[in-house]
A = this chain, B = another copy of it.
Amino acid sequence: MSVPTRSRTRPAPAARGARRRTYLKADARRAQILDVAKDVFVKRGYRVANVADLCRAARIGRGTLYQYFDSKQAVLLAVMEEVCGRVEQVLAARPRIEAMGSPARVSTEEIVRFCEGRLRQLLQAVFVDEATLRLILRDARGLDGSVDRVIARIDAHALAALEHDLAAAQRLGFLRKGDVRLIARFILGGVEKMVLSALQEDAPVDLDLIVKTAVQLELYGLSRKEARR
């Protein structure tokens, strides 16, 4: 009749590898977890990495993680949101393209250099570091609706910036008319694939070379003959 009461007493604190607990202020801990999590997600893959991995890497107990995030997914989401926020900031802070002046006065070299700089800015906003980069381009895709949505938002930001540049350059007479939507996608996709190729071979990502190649192609194409139309 009487219930066994199994009074949920805590057994001796498991004196195994038992590292002492460390204390951090909430904000600091949150940031630390995010930091560590990015690494773990990249190194082991979001799906393969389990919450235990995250906590071990952050040297915290499993429960601690759940004081800061609702779920494993929420951790990834927070990582991505962070990137997204940074992208928004960087893009908003860029000078307007109209600052460049009129085509008549600008030399080809200046144009090239300007485009390269601008593209590099864009990429650096998105690809803060290689971990983030791998996450965005490779690991975090197709995981789950809400994560995908953040990635889509980042993507949309980048594309919008690119489109805006292209449209302005067309208006100012630097570039030929054309479907800016498609062209923006082509350029961003091209750059992404070059980056991905490097990542896949574990080669260092030479952003300079990639940017140069992209701008060269974007501006002048490959043909030795001038287009007539």
Binding site for B on A (CB under 8 A): 1-10, 12-15, 25-27, 30, 44-45, 47-48, 67-71, 73-74, 77-78, 81, 103, 108, 111, 138-139, 141-142, 144-146, 148-149, 152, 166, 169, 173-176, 178-179, 181-183, 185-194, 196-197, 199-202, 209-210, 213-214, 216-228
| A26 and B1 contact, CB distance less than 8 A | no
Of the residues B67, B108, B223, contact of A175 by C-beta under 8 Å = B223
- Copies assembled: 4
Give the complex CA separation of A166 and B70 in angstroms: 51
A69 and B10 in contact, given A219-B222, A222-B176 (Cβ under 8 angstroms): yes
A210 vs B193: C-alpha distance when bound (angstroms): 17
Contact of A224 among B3, B13, B174 (CB under 8 A): B174
Instruction: Using A6-B70, A8-B77 as known contacts, say yes or no to A190 and B186 having CB atoms under 8 A apart.
Output: yes
How far apart sit A209 and B111, CA to CA, in the bound complex (Å)?
28
Chain B residues with Cβ below 8 Å from A13 are 26, 67-68
